[in-house]
Chains A and B, each alone.
Chain A
Amino acid sequence: RKEVEQDPGPFNVPEGATVAFNCTYSNSASQSFFWYRQDCRKEPKLLMSVYSSGNEDGRFTAQLNRASQYISLLIRDSKLSDSATYLCVVIASGSARQLTFGSGTQLTVLP
């Protein structure tokens, strides 16, 4: 079983749509959680950290369910510029801070 699993997609949605991505992680001791985005295999860019209470940044909402070891990202009112690969990322406890990446979910927002 992969440490971090994501639906690879692709997700093709029209502009303005709401889209949700899910992610599960296998290490119950994982301590930090993030969403990154990667455009055309350029460098990953931090989108947002994910907090236990859930958090929102503009059109983006992240949720964490520690009991189910599940992380989600919701994008509202999607824009063309949101087209990218979204990476679910975890730091496992005791891993000396290395990031463990999911394989990514590809999103294309269509005009």
Chain B
Amino acid sequence: NAGVMQNPRHLVRRRGQEARLRCSPMKGHSHVYWYRQLPEEGLKFMVYLQKENIIDESGMPKERFSAEFPKEGPSILRIQQVVRGDSAAYFCASSPPPAIGIRGEQYFGPGTRLTVT
């Protein structure tokens, strides 16, 4: 049973380019979360998605960031016109439906390290 998959593991972008980060949840999990960890800081929630639906995007920066979880395929976190301050580790987590994972445990993928030059 594969865990949460993320790719790429490392991504280098120049300022102004776009970054696309992908996440496939664990089998049987229908809920996906994205978190960001800036250098020397803790993890911060960004967005919570179910298939074709954004449930909570209260942690997303207002501009340049978007996320989706289509009916087919992985969840995508998209950062347009990247800046140096976007350099961070971006972690995806997944959880089973609330009826199963009643305590809300989330399982994390290996992360994508984004470096903006």
Interface of A with B (CB < 8 Å)? 31-32, 34, 41-46, 49, 87, 91, 95-104
Contacts and interface: CB of A to CB of B under 8 A. Distances in A.
Interface of B: 31, 33, 35, 37, 41-45, 48, 55-56, 58-59, 89, 91, 93, 95, 98, 103-111
B59 A98 contact: yes
Nearest to A104: B42
A89 to B, nearest CB: 9
Contacts of B103: 32, 34, 49
Contacts of A44: 43, 91, 108
Contact of B104 (A41, A97, A102): A97
Contact of B45 (A32, A41, A43, A98): A98
A108 B15 CA distance: 37
